[in-house]
Structure formats: C-alpha cells, structure tokens
Structure 1
Amino acid sequence: MASRTTFEELPSTVRTAIESHTGRIHRVDPVSSGLNSQVAARLHCDAGDVHVKGLRSDHKWAWTQQREAEVNPFLKGISPELLWRVKGSGWDLLGFDLVTGHHADYSPDSRDLPLVVDLLTRLGGVESPSIELREAGQRLSSYVDSPSQLHLFQGSAVLHTDLNNENVLIDGSHAYMVDWAWATRGAPWLDAGYWVIWLMAAGKHTPEQAESWAERVPTWETASPKALEAFALANARMWKEIGGEEPDFWTSRLVQASQEWSEYRQNLIKR
C-alpha cells in the first residue's frame, strides 16, 4: 500500500498547475479507498468536479500512471474520462471526471450484478489498442503447471484483472470500472474469470452461483474447460503465495475463494 500525502501537502507549483486545468478549487475531499495512490482526493472546482490520483515520480509504481493515461482513451463509457495529467516537482497526477455513486454490491441478490455483466460485455467489445500492456500469460507464468499452458490465456482483449468491488462504481443504471493501473492484454474471458473469484470472496457466492453470472458475459463462451481449470488453479496458487502464513481478513477470503473455485473446476474435469 502506498503511503498517503494529502492534497494540501503537495508542492504549491503542483497545485497551481492543477488549477490551470480546474480553475479555482472550492473544496477538497480526501479519498481513503484504493491502495495504489499516494494522493487521492475529490476536487470541487470552477471547471467541475474531479477525482485526482497520483504518485511521486520516483515511486516504484510510477509506471502505472503512464499505463492508466495511455489506456483511458480506449475506454469511453467504461472508465471515467481522463481530463488532464500534471507532471512536475516530483509528482505525477491524473485528473478524472468524477463519477458519483456506490461501490458495486456483489451479494447474490444484488441489483448491481446485471450492471457489472453489462460493463464486462461492453469491455469485451473494445478493440485492442496499440499500446504497451503486460501480457496475461506473463502475469500467471509462475503459477501454472507448465509453460505450455500459457497459450490458454493469450489474446488481444484489454483486461482490467482486478475485479475488486471497490473498483466498480455504480452510478444509476451505469457501471464504471476504475483504477486501470494493471491493465493487461489477454484472452477476452479472463476478466469474467477474475470476477468469479471476487463474487465468491466479496459476495459469498458458491462456485456455481459465481459462474452463473460469469456465463452471462458473452466472452465467457470462448473459454475452454481446460483453460478455466488452469486459470483457477493458477489464481489459487497466486493468492496462497500472496496470503503467506498470516493473511489479513480480505486476503484470507480471496485465498479461500480461489481454492474453492479451483477445486470445483478440477472436479468438473474429472466427471
């Protein structure tokens, strides 16, 4: 988790550069959610409300700012629009159109679930941009039984890969996906697969219930049973490694959910 700096603690030169885009800032509301930003706040300004997030230019994750800036133009209606970028005085900050609403509720009877299906369906229709993105196989290569399985995750789709419900904002009847720092290129069904794990962890779905929602995303049909088994197993191994000996509350939920889904998938193959 990145240590937090308040907006008011930013160098005056940075705040002045931001005001060249926003006009006078009337109020600053700090944002506590999100783990990957050193600065996160809502700015209420002459030019309209903005969500600003950023990192010091020398931070080890500074490259994620470039990733978000490059992928945003291809995500119209899927991600809040990037309005400006300010770099200087040791900081790299992004200003997004502020989307109000609530974080998606992943519980089984939630009215948000069809909106997330629609969101993932719209994302599945995005053409792969000609920008640098990490490959899905690269990210999972340490957790598969054999390198020969990595082709199962290859593809040209733009993927979010972190379907944490806090990364999905519901504004009326429209869902948006935020925090594209880990945008990836790969098979089009992978985000629906990541969603299965989060539905189980955050929404307390059974594997069958979670997959019943993933099946409503058209790209899910492109996943073979072998691909799903390999993906579920790779994620179970990844979360077990992340959790270590004493995982925190949320990590332990993800460790358990990914393990249960992997076992479910392995049992289906055996039938």
Structure 2
Amino acid sequence: MTTSRIPYAELPVTVRRAVEAHTGPVLKVESEAEGFNSEIAARLTSPTGAFYVKGLRADHRRAWTQAREAEVNPYVRGIAPALVARVESGGWDLLIFEAVDGHHADYRPGSPDLPKVVATLRHLAEIPCPPIELRHAEQRLARYAAGPKDLDQFAGDALLHTDWHNTNVLVTDHGAQLVDWAWATKGAPWLDAGYWVLWLIAFGHDPASAEDWAAHIPTWQTAPTEGIDAFAVANANMWDEIGKDDSDPWTVRMVAAARKWRDCRKV
C-alpha cells in the first residue's frame, strides 16, 4: 500500500533543525515522487553537499523499516549510498543518506544498464549476511508457496535485498547502487537473481531472456530447478493477491509477468 507523502517543509521546525545538524543549512529542497514506503522523501542541498532524506512518523506501522535500513547500511557500503545519520525527533524517524547522482535502472531488452545491475548482484552475493535481525525468505513466502516442502528451497544464509523495482537501482557512471533496504532478508543466495528475473519480464524480456541475464550471476547457476519452479509459483500467488486490491498499471504489469514466468516453468 502506498504511503501518503508530505512536503519536507511541513516537518516541524525542531525536526528540520535536527536534520540540519548533520547536513548544514538547507539551501534547496527537491521532493522525490518515486517510492511507496516513505512519508518524507526529498533531496536536500546544503553548503556541505547533497543529501537524501526519507522517513516516517515514529508511530507508523512500518517504522521498523527505518531501523532495518540503518542497521544494514554499514554492511552494504560500495553498492548502497552511505547513511549519514538517523534522526529521531519530534515524533519522526528520518534517515539521511549521501545523495547519489544517477538514473533509475532501465531493465528493457538491450539496455546498457543491465551489465551494471549484474555487477551489483554479483557484488551483493559476496557480502556475508550481517549479524542483525532480518526476516527469513521462507517466512516471507510461507503464505504463497504451493506446499511446506517448497519453503526449504528458500532458506539460506545470504543477505538479500529482494525489492528490485527499477527505482531502487540508481545507475551512475561507476555502476549501480541499491537503495531502499527496508525489505532486506536472509535466504537462499540465488533468490535476488530470481526477484530480478521477474522485473526483467515485466520490462519486456521473455522468461528465457530474463533467466539468461540471471545466469551471469554465479549464485543463480547453482539454483536447483525445483527451487526456481517453487519460487515462480510463490511469486505468481503473491502478485495475484496484491493485484486484487491494486489496479495501478505497474502492479498489473507485475501480475502478468509473474503469471508468465510461472507458466513458462510449466508448474
């Protein structure tokens, strides 16, 4: 469900002052339209540089995602913008990141962004799962798997991002950076490549082409066939459920992509 946005200027003065203690005086504010999970999302420019601030009211039901992002950030430096500070003030919970200059990843066939995303996926697969509290993939997919035995396919000790919406991948001259780690998860090491496959299909790849791109990632090469089949089924079930209450065009596209992948796997 999309979270309503408010302008940065509508934050209490005390909260903005707490932010400026880390950024310096804010000279320019650019509201961010993309994303679904933050009540505040803006790029701030100050004499010391550019920053990205996002956050929620402290009593928001998803406020726990702020802590998750803050905790995971030190472990994903190099493929994610650095966290400058977490500000908890005046009933708000805000994260301040170094701003990244780049564009949202283009997942369409033939896009020059695809190799950069592959490189980031390969890098992520090499990062040990940090000793922090994370949801487990088999728990997140439990409602959608065809049967209990399928859940064993999703278990593992790898750090996963899991939300490969193209707006969460910022492509720069130096590579692809991953933002929005709210749904960081612990699970089988090939699952992130699988989540990316689904987005590639949604952007126009046929399932075979999407899986060919995933094959550039070593963890995908070791994925069991029955595990991929089970994952395709679980995702189709999940997006069917989401699609019942959401007629947004990108949701409709994801529902169609998930069904197409499931049917291609002949399961």
TM-score if structure 2 supplies the norm length?
0.98
User: Residues of 2 paired with 1:2 and 1:264: CA distance?
Assistant: 34
**Which residue of structure 2 lines up, in the alignment, with residue 217 of structure 1?**
217
**Which residue of structure 2 lines up, in the alignment, with residue 264 of structure 1?**
264
Give the aligned residue type for 1:149: D
The answer as to 2:143 corresponding to 1:142 is yes
**Which residue of structure 1 lines up, in the alignment, with residue 228 of structure 2?**
228
SS of equivalent to 1:142: coil
User: Residues of 1 paired with 2:103 and 2:219: CA distance?
Assistant: 26
Unmatched 5+ stretches in structure 1 = none
Cα-to-partner distance string for 1:207-266 (whole Å, 9 max, x where unaligned): 011001000011102210000000000000100011017632111111111111111112
Cα-to-partner distance string for 1:123-164 (whole Å, 9 max, x where unaligned): 000101010000000010011122122110111111111111
Cα-to-partner distance string for 1:71-126 (whole Å, 9 max, x where unaligned): 00000111100011110110000000100110000111100000000000000001
Give the aligned residue type for 1:109: G
User: Residues of 2 paired with 1:5 and 1:252: CA distance?
Assistant: 27
The answer as to 2:71 corresponding to 1:70 is yes
Compared CA separation, residues 246 and 37, structure 1 to 2 (3 A):
closer
**Which residue of structure 2 lines up, in the alignment, with residue 87 of structure 1?**
88
Give the aligned residue type for 1:91: W
Segment of structure 1 superposing worse, 89-98 or 245-254: 245-254
Compared CA separation, residues 246 and 27, structure 1 to 2 (3 A):
closer
Cα-to-partner distance string for 1:164-188 (whole Å, 9 max, x where unaligned): 1111000113100111111110011
User: Residues of 1 paired with 2:266 and 2:142: CA distance?
Assistant: 19
Give the aligned residue type for 1:249: P
SS of equivalent to 1:141: coil
**Which residue of structure 1 lines up, in the alignment, with residue 186 of structure 2?**
185
Identity among equivalent positions (%) equals 54
User: Residues of 2 paired with 1:159 and 1:86: CA distance?
Assistant: 25
Q: Name segments (4+ residues, structure 1) moved above 2 Å.
A: 245-248
The 5 A counterparts of 1:75-154 are 75-154=76-155
User: Residues of 2 paired with 1:246 and 1:110: CA distance?
Assistant: 29
The 5 A counterparts of 1:196-215 are 196-201=197-202, 203-215=203-215
User: Residues of 1 paired with 2:23 and 2:246: CA distance?
Assistant: 44
Give the aligned residue type for 1:52: V
User: Residues of 2 paired with 1:62 and 1:152: CA distance?
Assistant: 30
User: Residues of 2 paired with 1:47 and 1:131: CA distance?
Assistant: 32
Give the aligned residue type for 2:255: V
The answer as to 2:37 corresponding to 1:36 is yes
**Which residue of structure 1 lines up, in the alignment, with residue 55 of structure 2?**
54
User: Residues of 2 paired with 1:30 and 1:246: CA distance?
Assistant: 25
**Which residue of structure 2 lines up, in the alignment, with residue 3 of structure 1?**
4
Give the aligned residue type for 1:257: A
Give the aligned residue type for 1:236: A
Compared CA separation, residues 96 and 245, structure 1 to 2 (3 A):
closer
User: Residues of 2 paired with 1:245 and 1:64: CA distance?
Assistant: 23
SS of equivalent to 2:177: strand
**Which residue of structure 1 lines up, in the alignment, with residue 27 of structure 2?**
26
User: Residues of 2 paired with 1:25 and 1:171: CA distance?
Assistant: 25
The Cα RMSD (Å) is 1.0
Give the aligned residue type for 1:196: V
The answer as to 2:12 corresponding to 1:17 is no
User: Residues of 2 paired with 1:58 and 1:222: CA distance?
Assistant: 42
Give the aligned residue type for 2:264: Y
Unmatched 5+ stretches in structure 2 = none
TM-score if structure 1 supplies the norm length?
0.96
User: Residues of 2 paired with 1:163 and 1:59: CA distance?
Assistant: 24
Compared CA separation, residues 82 and 35, structure 1 to 2 (3 A):
same
The answer as to 2:239 corresponding to 1:239 is yes
